[in-house]
Structure formats: C-alpha cells, structure tokens
Amino acid sequence: MSTLSTQKLHASIRREASWGLRAFKQFGADRCAAMAASIAFYSAFSLAPMLVMVIAVAGWFFGDDAARGQIFSHVHGLLGNEAAAGVQTIVQNAHRSGSAGGIAAIISFALLFVGASATFSSLNTALSIIWPETSSRTSTVVALVKVRLISFGLVLGVAFLLIVSLVLDTAITFVGQWLWGNTPYIVIGNLLQLAVGLLVLAVAFAALLKFLPDAPVVWRDAFTGGIVAAVLFSVGKKLFALYLAHAGMANSFGAAGSLAVLLMWLYFSAAVLLLGAEFASARGHLHDPRGAWGLQDNDTPAGSRAMLASALAASTVSAGSRDARDGDTAMSAAGRRAAAADRYVRKHPWRAVMLAAGAALFLTSVVGRGNGATSRDDR
C-alpha cells in the first residue's frame, strides 16, 4: 500500500510539474517575447487616453486630484522621477486637449475610446494565439466591435479596481494606525496591505485572461494565470525599481530616457501577463480530457478511441494479484496496438482503405471456398 501511495504521489508531482514546464515551453513557441514588444508599443501610445478615462471615472467618487495623485504615486514608485514626470505631462496634455466643448468634445471622447482600447485589442490578438478559437468565427466587423466594447469595459474595470485599491489602502492604513500605532505590530498591517494588493492584481489579471481571449476560458484557469502574473509582477516591480535606482538607465538615453524606461516597464508587464496566460492555458490543457494526453509517451492524437482504451487500461493497474496485473498489462498492450493502428489509419487513409478492401475480398473468397466444399461433401 505504501508503494502504491508513493507511486501516486510521484505521478501527481510529475503531472503538476508538467503543466508548468509546458507553460515555459509554449511561451517560447508562441513567440510571446515578440508579442510583448508589440503590446508595449501600442500601450505607450494608448497610455495617456486610458489614464485620462480611468482618472475621470475614479474622480467621480474621490475627485480628480485624489485619483490623479494615487495613480502618479504608483507610477513614481515604479518608474522613478523622470518617467513619472513624463507620464504626468502626457496625461495633463491629453486631458487639456479633451476638455473642449461641443463637437470637439465628442470627437475627443471617441478618440479617447479608440486609443484607450488599443492596448486591450493588441492583448486580444496575443491571447487568441495562446488560446486559439476552435468554433466558427463571427464576421470581422462584429468581432471588431465586440473586442472594442470588451476593451472599453476593461478600461472601466481598471478604474473600478483603482477605486477598490484606494478604499482598501485607506481603510487598512487607518485601522493599522488605530490598532497598533507606532508599535512593531504595525508590520501586520503592512503585510495585510501587501496581501490585498496581490489579491487586487490577481483579480485584474484573471479578468483580462477570462474576457479578452476569443476562446472560452474558465475562471479556474484564469485565476491560475492571474495569481502567477500577480506574484511575478509584484516581485518584478521591486527588482525593476532597484535596477532603475542603480543602473542610471534614464540618463544613458538622454532626452528619451523617460520614454525608454516606460517602454521597458510596459514590455515587462506585457511579458508577465502573457506568461500568466501560458500558465492558465497549460492548466486548462491538463484538465481538458482531450488535451491532457501530452503526458503520454506516444503521439496518439488527442481524443482518439484508441488512446481512451489505453488510458482506461492504464487506470485499472493496481496492487492486486499477479493475474490481475497481467490482465492489465495485456489490456495496455492491446490499447497500444490499437493506438498504432489508429495512427496508421490517420497517416495513410487511402492505403488503409485498400488494405481493408483486400482483406474483405480475401475473407469472402475463403468463406466461398468453404461453403463450396461443404456442399460437395453433402452431395
């Protein structure tokens, strides 16, 4: 019994490790690094309109100054003084250009809508490569409108998460100061604030992985990728801040230093999100009854009846008697032979048809000769 438990434990560890390794392999196979660069390029030009809309929505609840201060404090902590000042200038100019009235205001809002959703549209393209759509696609116009509406909804979702983050940060800080003040126990409040930040990030990334791909994604897989992306994002944020503080990258690029820092940060964020998407896709592949066959040693096509027979035979192997194990081995061998036959039929369909026809003619001739010999004996 202990041997069986150890085997089950090893099989479980191997299965859980396999989908993590698959995620890293698919990250390279799907060219996610190149797609992250494309997303960073689009994000750099849609960042200003997106932040303008987020500040506008969050400003309805807390005022424009509070929302703008919260966003720029995060940007300052991530990108440093020069990049944060550059982002602040871009947002102020975009907000000033969109504050006109009449027809100009409508046109500015439409341009803000298109610009703010450009990043999410490029994310949709990348995630559709990671999760390819298997069902019939809708028309191009309908798909474009759908993606833009979902992207706009996600912009509003970012604003909502900013509101939640503001409320939770304020509440946790107030409660921590009220309970512990300047005592060493204030670290509990700091840890709680860190956990809440991770939770908000995980929900945000999971929402992107759930709603942006064209293929259906279950929440379980989306949250798996969201948690991975949130942890990597939080760790990378600290490392990126240390790198900027000691490398002096902004100074090496001169006047374009703030833009270079911003592009690097956007590239890192996009790469983290795509890696989380690969983890979510690999997790879904593991639980998909047609997709988990990648753990098998042979290359039988997923979902074939031969592989199903082999899996059913393998699942019956237990610590029973020798006869039962021999029977299970025979069933597994039969399943492998059926799998080999299935692969041959898929690879050479016409040859298989000719072989089947020849076998049928041979059996017909043998049966006919047997019947003729029997009739002569009767006479």
What is the SS3 string spanning the chain? CHHHHHHHHHHHHHHHHHHHHHHHHHHHHCCHHHHHHHHHHHHHHHHHHHHHHHHHHHHHHHCHHHHHHHHHHHHHHHHHHHHHHHHHHHHHHHHHHCCCCCHHHHHHHHHHHHHHHHHHHHHHHHHHHHCCCCCCCCCHHHHHHHHHHHHHHHHHHHHHHHHHHHHHHHHHHHHHHHHCCCCCCHHHHHHHHHHHHHHHHHHHHHHHHHHCCCCCCCHHHHHHHHHHHHHHHHHHHHHHHHHHHHHCHHHHCHHHHHHHHHHHHHHHHHHHHHHHHHHHHHHHHHHCCCCHHHHCCCCCCCCCHHHHHHHHHHHCCCCCCHHHHHHHHHHHHHHHHHHHHHHHHHHCHHHHHHHHHHHHHHHHHHHHHHHHHHHHHHC
Give pLDDT, residue 303: 40
**E strands in the chain:** none
Over its length of 379 residues, how does the chain's per-residue pLDDT go in tens digits? 456 567 777 777 777 677 778 888 888 888 888 888 888 887 777 777 777 777 777 777 767 677 777 777 777 766 666 667 777 777 776 666 555 555 655 666 666 666 666 777 778 788 888 887 766 555 566 666 666 666 666 666 665 665 666 666 666 666 666 666 666 667 777 787 778 878 888 888 888 888 878 778 888 888 988 899 889 888 887 887 777 777 666 666 666 677 777 788 888 888 888 898 888 888 877 765 444 333 433 444 444 433 444 444 444 444 444 455 555 555 556 556 655 655 554 555 555 555 555 555 555 554 455 544 444 444 4
Give pLDDT, residue 180: 65
CB 346 within 8 A of CB 298: no
**Burial bucket for residue 311 (CB in 10 Å: 0-12, 13-18, 19+):** middle
Give pLDDT, residue 40: 85
Give pLDDT, residue 18: 76
Backbone angles phi and psi of 114, in degrees to 5? -65, -45
Q: Which residues of 8-38 are buried (b: 16+ CB within 10 A; e: fewer)?
A: eeeeeeeeeebbeebbeebbeebebeebbeb
Cα torsion angle, 52, 56, 117, 234, sign:
positive
CB 147 within 8 A of CB 116: no
State the Cα angle at 158 between 230 and 206, rounded to 5°: 40
CB 135 within 8 A of CB 216: no
pTM of the predicted model as reported, rounded to 2 decimal places: 0.62
Give pLDDT, residue 239: 82
Give pLDDT, residue 157: 63
Residue with tokens 């990334």: 205
| C-alpha to C-alpha distance for 7 and 13, rounded to whole angstroms | 10
Q: Which residues of 123-150 are buried (b: 16+ CB within 10 A; e: fewer)?
A: bbebbeebbeeeeeeeeeeeeeeebbeb
Q: How far is CA 2 from CA 5, 9, 14, 319, in A?
A: 5, 10, 18, 10
Size of the chain in residues: 379
| C-alpha to C-alpha distance for 333 and 320, rounded to whole angstroms | 18
